[in-house]
Amino acid sequence: MNNKKVISLWPYLLILAILAVLVSYGTGNNTTTFNYNEFMNKAEKLDFDKVEMSMGSTVIDVSGTYKQGKESKSFKVSVPNTETNVKWLTETLSKNKDTVLTTRDPNQESFLMKFFINVFPYLLLAGIAIFFFTKMNSGGSNKAFEFSKSKARIEGNIKVRFKDVAGCDEEKEEVKEIIDYLKDPKKFTDMGARIPKGMLMVGPPGTGKTLLAKAVAGEANVPFFSISGSDFVEMFVGTGASRVRDMFKKAQQTAPCIVFIDEIDAVGRQRGAGMGGGNDEREQTLNQLLVEMDGMGENKGIVIIAATNRPDVLDPALLRSGRFDRQITVNLPDKKGRYEILKVHARNKKLAPDCSLESLAKRTPGFSGADLENVLNEGAILAVRDKRKMITMEDLDEAIDRVMMGPAKKSRKYTDKEKRLVAFHEAGHAVIGIKLEDADMVEKVTIIPRGEAGGYNLMTPREEKMMPTKADFMAQITGLMGGRVAEEVVFDEISAGASNDIQKATKIAKAMVRSWGMSSLGPIQYDDGTGNVFLGRDYGSGSNYSGEIAYEIDKEIRKIINECYERAKQIITEHIDLLTLIADTLIEEETITSEQINNLVKYGTITSPEDALKKQAMANDVEQQIQADNEAAQEVLHDDIQHYDDTPSSQDEEKKKQEKVSFEEAMKELTKSDDYDETKE
């Protein structure tokens, strides 16, 4: 570490040493400069050693050394060039025989020689200093002269295509003209058409706005400039505007191209809307962006694509015609779009045969493209963690829960009372979802803690609607009240577990009254409809209704909540047996699926009779197979025992061998006797 510090400091040390030498050279020069009169008075008394006279046209430059005691000192003087002075100097300087006198004609010296002698050493030192300073600045982060340069990253040969962007077919249709224009602009100019200079992509985070912009560049095969809105603004005044100019200059040099500005709301917010008048530096940057877009000209081969999820805070001048002409809304995908997105992200995943992407798309309403990619990635991580070769449906099911609610906290232990309370709370949501026609369907219920929630109830819409009705919202609020109602009906007390349910229900009720006109107050909007608060614009702005109307709004919100609460209480009371059955099953199983819940409703058990018969048949087949295997094993064992019994022992074998030897010996003796010959005949 110390060596690196020394290496980084040595250029500074070298420069300081050079400066010290120059200073010491300048201050250590003991040359005495005489004026003309002074030299005339002292010349007779000086003992000259070496003297040089440079004969100019009007002046004689005399320089050299003289002795003063034991020291030798330098001197120089300028004497008018007259015949008398030349004679006097020659006599005076030559009076001592040891003096070396040299006469030089300055006209004989070349200009180049003078330059090298007098100027070049200083230029050389200055060049060395500049070189070292440049090296030090370029090697580190002290790029003081590059603040005005654009930070846009240029990418060529983009590999992303429309096939990599799923779930936004209508959005891709909107940008096809841009691709045709970048490929062949002549057919547009011949028709007199002006291609949009800018396109603004609006949508929730993670819906694929940046990916779609890259796909446009990939399909058109043009360079892709990408920059964030926050990259324009720095602490130095004027930096943002200069970076905008530099970015458009580079874009013009590489046209046709696409310039993509992500999170443009960071620099394109309404001017004059900040606290105390706004940020002047940001507004200057926005002004420069507007000017550059106006000065870009028509059909110049440059298309500006910007993305934001806060279009309500953008300056109106940015959205007028001639700048960002076209606004494309990239919404959350529907069921079909989610299925297509899952297929794109599953191309490099090893999925088990039981994995159904269509079922996964059905269970993930409200998920963005980024969320769906995260689900598949979490499933792959879980499969690797459990050392499996393929991703199973159980991994994906767990991945959905992790993305929505966080990992399961199995280490957190309930008391028996808390476990029963949570089970009935979640069962209350499930009963409302089962028995209320317009309520969301129950997909999964668990009492395993996740995140801040003690339990988790996954409910999905029966069908995804573009325009939900009042009945849909009322059913949704009723379903949210189901858990709290179940606690009150069964335990005659309430817990804090319903806080999130109450928050969601109140938000829906407020929107019904203030925004959608679904109350007795009539079709009147009592909020500004701007969504998130923009402090620079909304801070300090009063409500657009009176205090009396505010009281009526509160009454209507309370009326909606109370009505849904009573409806949920009626349903829970009528189906208390189903509530108890689901809760007891949750206490035992901890997690039940929609299929098991349906079996509880129809048959009272988590398995249907058909499934029970199938399981019994499978068990019988297994038992019969085991019995057959046992019988076969017994037969094999019996045969082995019989074979062992039939096999002669080693003693019998030895006895037979002895009997055989005795018989052979008897036959030999018989063949030698006379009786054998007679018998043979």
Q: Mind telling me the catalytic residues?
A: 426
Q: ω before 449 within 30° of 0 (cis)?
A: no
CA–CA gap between residue 258 and residue 263 (Å, rounded): 16
The two structure tokens encoding residue 428: 């209350």
Burial class (CB in 10 A: 0-12, 13-18, 19+), 528: middle
Q: d(Cα 207, Cα 333) in Å, to the nearest integer?
A: 8
Burial of 632 (0-12, 13-18, 19+ CB in 10 A): exposed
Helix ranges (DSSP H) in 515-546: 535-538
**Is residue 103 part of an annotated ligand binding site?**
no
| Burial of 410 per CB tally in 10 Å (0-12, 13-18, 19+) | exposed
**Gap between the Cα atoms of 403 and 369, Å rounded:** 13
Annotated binding-site residue? 322: no
Distance CA 418, CA 395 (A): 28
**92 annotated binding-site participant:** no
Q: Are 563 and 508 in contact (CB under 8 A)?
A: no
φ, ψ at 78 (rounded to 5°): -115, 125
The answer to whether 210 is a known ligand-binding residue is: yes
Pinpoint the alpha helices (H) of 274-411. 280-295, 316-319, 335-345, 357-362, 369-385, 393-405
429 is in an annotated binding site: yes
Tokens found for residue 150:
């654009």
Tell me the two tokens of residue 349: 């995943």
- Written as one string, the DSSP assignment of 8-32 is HHHHHHHHHHHHHHHHHHHHH---E
DSSP letter at 543? P
Which structure tokens are listed for 276?
């105390």
204 is in an annotated binding site: yes
- Which residues lie closer than 8 Å to 182 by C-beta, 6 or more apart? 220, 222, 256, 258, 301, 303
Residue 518 has a CB neighbour count (10 Å cut-off) of 19
| CA dihedral (198, 202, 206, 207) positive or negative | negative
643 is in an annotated binding site: no
- Tell whether the torsion through CA atoms of 132, 135, 141 and 146 is positive or negative: positive
H helix or E strand, kind and range, residue 561: helix 547-574
Q: What are the C-alpha distances in Å from 161 to residues 145, 208, 215?
A: 38, 13, 5
Sheet with 59-68, strands from edge to edge, namely 32-34, 71-80, 59-68, 47-55, 100-104
| In 98-163, alpha helices (H) | 111-118, 120-139
CA pair distance 540, 462, nearest whole angstrom: 42
Does 209 belong to an annotated binding site? yes
> Is 492 marked as binding a ligand?
no
Name the DSSP letter for residue 494: -
DSSP β-bridge partners for residue 415:
none
Annotated binding residues for Zn(2+), as ranges? 425, 429, 501
Annotated binding residues for ATP, as ranges? 203-210
Annotated binding residues, as ranges? 203-210, 425, 429, 501
